[in-house]
Structure 1
Amino acid sequence: MTGQSAAGAPHDPEAWWVFRGPSDLPAPPPWRRFPAGAGTAAARAPYLLERNEISVVNAALHLHRPLLVTGRPGAGKSSLAHAVAEELGLGDVLRWSVNSRSTLQDALYRYDAVGRLREASLRREREASHGSVRRPRAPRATAAGDIGQYLRLGPLGSALAAGRPRVLLVDELDKADIDLPNDLLVVLEEGEFEIPELARLPEHQQEVPVLLSGSRERVAIHRGVVRCTQFPVVVMTSNGERDFPPAFLRRCVRLDLPEPTGDRLRKIIEHNLGASAVAAAEDLIEVFHQRAQTQTLATDQLLAAVHLRISGADLTKDELLGAVLHRLDEPMAP
């Protein structure tokens, strides 16, 4: 399929084209592969850390303190949480993506009160339509089993309730409301929180099974209190858009991911795309370094450019390189 330009002139398809070119979709780059049945996102190449950075991660693990990872966008902050989970065999990462509207309860639990009321109303209507007489139910058959269907623990709540170490990723905490970091700190320091909807239940309904985040697994909540028995591995990321209170920083282990050097960029390219890609990327690495002096760029933008290069794309044509290595600190033109 050749297609036509806006002026009506025919396009000669290039070898690497899919749209307006061959019909078969190409294989995705390694970081955009989604293995069937996997709970995590794309398959990840081995994560690169320097020796001193590995020591900082181990310090956080020994101290059972949150790890606060700072660095520019695309530096690999979020990927570190997945690397720790894979290395230690701790299962899928529990992820809480923070924005300006996020609240602590979002991360602790969700209660669908409207859904529960609707179901109760439908149940009464069914009973009335069948002319049934409501008979008293056994105490265990009332609210304890019922309310648990409308509760689900959030990422933080699940990390505390799991009964085994889990990795919790609190992504882009610097985008949060000003009070959220300290609110989060209180829960992490105490290692527990209360679910008022369960705490109000009568004595004979002390235990309620509740779903964990992103899972069909349930845990029993006793008297409405979620209490940590195994402190989670907490990785919090920040792009440096704001400062955090001293009390918060004092309780974290801090890791700052520096600007990648040329050698580190070559290692990243080799890990993700193979040794042969490095030789094809030398000029792109140079362009990336030059632009990064005055613009905000992410390492994964360089990986994308290299992937296009080895796929056959001519990055000197039609401003294609600019579309990939576009600056992240500039608003889009209207």
Structure 2
Amino acid sequence: MSLWPVYTGSSEPHDGIDALPAPPPWRAFDGGPALPPARVAGERAGGSPGRAHRARTYQPTAETVQLVNAALHLRRPLLVTGPPGSGKSSLPYAVARELKLGGVLRWNITSRTALTDGLYQYDPLSRLYAAGRGGGGRGPLTEGRDGAETAIEDHLRLGPLGTALLPYERPRVLLIDEIDKSDLDLPNDLLHILEEGQYEIPELVRAARTHPVAEVMVADSEERVPVRHGEVRCRAFPFVVLTSNGEREFPPAFLRRCVRLELRQPLREQLEDIVRAHLGPLDERDQALVDTFLHRGSAGELATDQLLNAIYLTRTSGLDAASREELAEALMPYLGRAAETWDVDDV
């Protein structure tokens, strides 16, 4: 198989990731011991039936395929910007499905999100309670191992970012969704982690003298993996997709370390391909709705989901033509207030 492109956008699963060339010398990582690839459990791998459907029907542009491959080859995060409904969060699921990289690890960002939320969660209160019940007379905060109920790793779980950086043989796929909603410091905090491909868990580092190997639960299953001396370092750099609605600027140092992809509203041919992938061939009524969507979209922000919803309901509702048009109009309101006062006919 050709080394380029590894990701083709065909949606047909294959083992092309094994043909990925060695990373640039400045992006090589040597974490270990190696963990086997994440499980691929059919269509449901890593998500709901809806996510599996979107992964299978995702329609990438030629530019998307090129830049996904650039990120994979360079071992760099992919920063994806674009309007709501343009397919930003569906892209990593499509890549994971085609390249058989297992379930997508998803980290949803809010204004209160801190870096440690993505790396791991530790509950000292539950450990204190367990130690008080069965600590055998030793202090509840002792870093040594008294027994299973007071071991630190029993009260610690890796987050999505922390799991993605484990030394897997194949890269994991990590979606960091809506990074532009984060606190101002989070992009800068991510710089070191994504540049070095490693991090420490201080609670395990302190316990390493008496307990050098901890079996820690991962983010997306009950599986436990060994963490030695509290240090995690990746082997295959994960395919990281950061999505943004373009609501803020990012620091230049952060942007310099990302491959940047801007998704735009699809043109007519791509819209028809999207509808066809989700709902089958288009008839004259569907074509009319595509015309309406494109016409309205020239005056304000619409999402492709709105068109899919309108076509699905007009096909299944059994309404007459006038009622179908009224329903379609109600299902395709503008996503922003600015366009509500514009006259579409004047555009």
Normalised by the shorter chain, which TM-score bucket? 0.7 to 0.9
Map 1:265-276 onto structure 2 (within 5 A): 265-275=271-281
Per the alignment, residue 7 of structure 2 pairs with none
CA distance in 1, matches of 2:322, 2:249: 40
Shift of 1:317: 3.4
- Alignment of 1:217 onto 2:219: no
Per the alignment, residue 32 of structure 1 pairs with none
Residue deviations 1:273-305 (CA, integer Å, cap 9, x gap): 001x35431221122122222222111111111
Is the 1:269–1:278 Cα contact (8 Å) retained in structure 2?
no
TM-score (ref. length: structure 2): 0.76
1:151 partner letter: L
Shift of 1:152: 0.5
Q: Provide the identity percentage.
A: 49
Map 1:195-234 onto structure 2 (within 5 A): 195-234=201-240
SS class of match (2:154): helix
What is the aligned length?
286
Map 1:157-306 onto structure 2 (within 5 A): 157-164=162-169, 165-275=171-281, 277-306=282-311
Cα 1:166–1:216, aligned 2, differ >3 Å: closer, same or farther?
same
1:90 partner letter: L
1:186 partner letter: H
Per the alignment, residue 90 of structure 1 pairs with 101
Is the 1:153–1:211 Cα contact (8 Å) retained in structure 2?
yes
TM-score (ref. length: structure 1): 0.79
CA distance in 2, matches of 1:274, 1:323: 23
Shift of 1:260: 0.8
Per the alignment, residue 160 of structure 2 pairs with 155
Shift of 1:49: 1.7
RMSD: 2.5
CA distance in 2, matches of 1:81, 1:54: 12
Is the 2:121–2:157 Cα contact (8 Å) retained in structure 1?
yes
SS class of match (2:89): helix
Shift of 1:51: 2.2
1:61 partner letter: L
Map 1:37-76 onto structure 2 (within 5 A): 38-41=45-48, 42=50, 43-44=52-53, 45-76=56-87
Shift of 1:178: 1.1
CA distance in 1, matches of 2:44, 2:59: 26
Gaps of 5+ in 2: 1-41, 139-143, 339-347
SS class of match (1:169): strand
Which entry has the higher C-alpha Rg, 1 or 2? Answer: 1
Cα 1:316–1:186, aligned 2, differ >3 Å: closer, same or farther?
farther
Map 1:116-127 onto structure 2 (within 5 A): 116-123=127-134
Is the 1:144–1:207 Cα contact (8 Å) retained in structure 2?
no
